[in-house]
Structure 1
Amino acid sequence: MSRKITFLTLFLWLMTVTFPVIAQQKADTTCIFRFVPQKDMFYVPWKGNDTELARLLEYIENNKATILDGKLPLLVDGYCNSKSCEVKNLATAKIRANRVKSELIIRAKIKEENFITHNHATGGDFVIVRLTVPAKETAAMDAEAEARLAAEPTVAGRRERQKAEAEKVAQQNTLAGTPSETKLTTDYHLSLRANLLRWATLTPDLGLEWRICPSWGIAVNGSWTSWSWSDKDRRYALWEVAPEVRYYMGEKKAWYLGAMFKAGQFNYKISETGKQGDLMGGGITTGYQLRLNKALALDFNLGLGYLNADFEKYEVIDGVRVRCGNETKNWCGPINAGVTLVWKLF
């Protein structure tokens, strides 16, 4: 009887010691590697990076077969917000993520296709490496993430990390078994544009906008129309092309300032005297993009600047166009206005 009691006591003691360790190993799938602000070098002994790296290498070794089979990808998120602009932050975040991956590839003997990488121009100066886990282990992982968030030095850092953790939890059940890809979590895209005000005046207008990064975009709009009536005695025809560079501001990147150049030709004969010639100019634009859904938005814009028009006057006599002289006009003021439908292509 005493042997049974001794055995039971020993068994219970082993359970109390071993079970928390096992539970911690299952949940302990997130490692944070710190970087010096504005630097991209991965210093292993700095800020506890060596401890995190050893812990991650041990976990990779215990699950190496599953990782190499592509069933358990490593999620790598590079962060940087200490540079002067978003483009530089994203570039540094990408280098940081690659340096951590290189360290794991060399030490753990895994491959590039075993990673899924995202880079962010927010959050702080660190790289997060995570292993996807089954949905039933999400609660344990969330508890660990909350503990790490509490250690962040700023409220903004905690919020950004919490947002990143929530996004990863939502994606984890679909990421396993998918091909490896590197994706920047930014608003890069190409959009088709149509100025509805131009279309309302029977002047077809189409354009494209390429968002180089969340803060910068390049847009080009073109218009063309040709109408005649009263036995061709009246005419309304023109073509224009207007390239524009934009800088988007604010947290939502909805307001913007831009610089536009405009060139084209026209032929108007609304009265007895017609005008045909060239126009050229440019100016400053401003506007606001109202997002309707994931694919559509309305762009309200106004341009102020300078236009020069060189044209000749003419009259039509017995079906023959007779020249009446040349004229040049300069205009300072509104040069462009639009309510533009924006359709995100990809």
Structure 2
Amino acid sequence: MKKTITGLLLLFVLLTLAAQEKPDTVYTFRFVTDKDMFYVPFSGNDKELARLEACVERLKERIFAGEIPVRVEGYCTSLGSEVDNLAMAKIRSNRVKSELIIRQGLTEACFVTKNHSGSGDYVTVRISVPKVATAAQKDERQQAGQENADTQQPMEEQRETEESRFVAEQIRADSMVVVHPEAYVPAETTGTAAEETSGTDSYTLSLRANLLRWATLTPDLGLEWRISPSWGILVNGSWTSWSWNDKDRRYALWEVMPELRRYMGKEKRGYLGAMYKAGQFNYKFSATGKQGDLMGGGITGGYQLRLNDALSLDFSVAVGCLHADYEKYTVIDGVRVRRGTETKNWWGPVNAGVTLVWKIY
């Protein structure tokens, strides 16, 4: 009988302990090297996020009451300097917090954030539940002469309570504005995390120089604005004016080429786009010269090869149609003599480039 009663009591204690929340649970979310976006399906992040949501749902009242802070720690080790690593870690921490704010309705005051340079490319979320003494533990302390132990908090619970009182002050000093639902759509709601979230080139301004045009002594410069992870607006301009052989030979032109691009793939390196070109030219490489206007457009495609954090090579080609209206002329005793006009339409390659891209910010 004594063995049976002892066994039942032991089983009751074990079931009571099993039913309690784990006192310290850590959830780890992995990030792609050099990326700041939170890809939910990546490397098991979706399962980890589901576990975290279930835990937050159970403890939401205590989290809002300030009893249980949600501790978020961001890590980055892949960038060149400690300052850059800390900045990247901060962004990653806020990506994870934004998911909890959107999905579970938490507020910024629920979090305690710390960011680190080094150790990897991930974010951890730690939920520490204050330990609650069981009836058996209280009886043991009473038998040991600790009559008031059942009314005193353990040291760890006291530290947790004290830290939770300063959650709001700490979070203001070590966090940045969290993305609102209108500005950031969780990857699971779209089903295309790799396409709708961005790499490091998103929302940046870049300076461009087409090396093929420079090789033909035609200075070429441009700007690109990545208005979103998948879309970019850019414009390139070229200008040159050369004459030789006592001005009997001539090579001059100016062109402006705006373009709209759609970047594709997980890394957002390949793209398709639409371009338009307009300008004027003056060519005289033989006895007869041609001077006039051109315009046209086409479909562009290409790939950006990353060199480092700031530089890339953009390989591109455009196929479409160019329309040119021009005059033919000869030069007699230094005077241009008109020899008629012509109009031509050209179908085929209308532009090509090996462009050096420098990300300004």
Query: Would the TM-score normalized by the shorter structure come out above 0.5?
Result: yes
For 1:52, the equivalent position in structure 2 comes to 59
| Structure 2 CA distance for partners of 1:297 and 1:250, relative to 1, 3 Å | same
Distance 1:305 1:180 in 2: 46
Kindly indicate whether residue 277 of structure 2 is the aligned counterpart of residue 262 of structure 1.
yes
Spell out the pairing of 1:113-262 with structure 2 (5 A cutoff).
131-132=113-114, 177-178=173-174, 180-182=176-178, 186=198, 187-262=202-277
Structure 2 counterpart of 1:226, one-letter code: S
Distance 1:225 1:330 in 2: 23
Q: Determine what percentage of the aligned residue pairs are the same residue.
A: 56
Q: CA deviation at 1:263?
A: 0.6
Q: CA deviation at 1:180?
A: 2.9
> Is the contact made by 2:94 and 2:178 (CA closer than 8 Å) also made in structure 1?
no
> Is the contact made by 1:218 and 1:246 (CA closer than 8 Å) also made in structure 2?
yes
Q: Deviations along 1:187-234, whole A, 9 cap, x unmatched? A: 221111100000000000010111111211111111000001111111
Q: CA deviation at 1:178?
A: 4.3
Secondary structure at the aligned position of 1:213 is classed as coil
Q: TM-score, normalised by structure 2?
A: 0.55
Spell out the pairing of 1:7-86 with structure 2 (5 A cutoff).
27=24, 50-59=57-66, 76-77=94-95
Secondary structure at the aligned position of 2:95 is classed as strand
| Structure 2 CA distance for partners of 1:253 and 1:321, relative to 1, 3 Å | same
Structure 1 counterpart of 2:58, one-letter code: T
Q: CA deviation at 1:57?
A: 2.6
> Is the contact made by 2:28 and 2:125 (CA closer than 8 Å) also made in structure 1?
no
Q: Deviations along 1:214-265, whole A, 9 cap, x unmatched? A: 2111111110000011111111000001111111111111111111111110
Q: Greater Rg, structure 1 or structure 2?
A: 2
Distance 2:294 2:54 in 1: 62
Q: CA deviation at 1:49?
A: 5.3
Kindly indicate whether residue 353 of structure 2 is the aligned counterpart of residue 338 of structure 1.
yes
Unpaired runs of at least 5, structure 1: 1-16, 33-45, 64-72, 81-92, 109-128, 146-174
Distance 1:199 1:239 in 2: 13
> Is the contact made by 2:56 and 2:104 (CA closer than 8 Å) also made in structure 1?
no
For 1:291, the equivalent position in structure 2 comes to 306
Q: CA deviation at 1:78?
A: 5.6
Secondary structure at the aligned position of 2:212 is classed as helix
Distance 1:274 1:257 in 2: 36
Distance 1:273 1:130 in 2: 76
For 1:119, the equivalent position in structure 2 comes to none
Q: Aligned-pair RMSD on alpha carbons? A: 4.2
Kindly tell me the number of residue pairs found equivalent between the two proteins.
236
Task: Say which is worse superposed, 312-321 or 286-295, in terms of deviation.
Answer: 312-321
> Is the contact made by 1:78 and 1:96 (CA closer than 8 Å) also made in structure 2?
no
Distance 1:332 1:310 in 2: 15
Unpaired runs of at least 5, structure 2: 1-15, 30-52, 71-89, 128-170, 185-196
Structure 1 counterpart of 2:59, one-letter code: E
| Structure 2 CA distance for partners of 1:95 and 1:224, relative to 1, 3 Å | farther
Of 324, 327, 331, which aligns to 1:309?
324
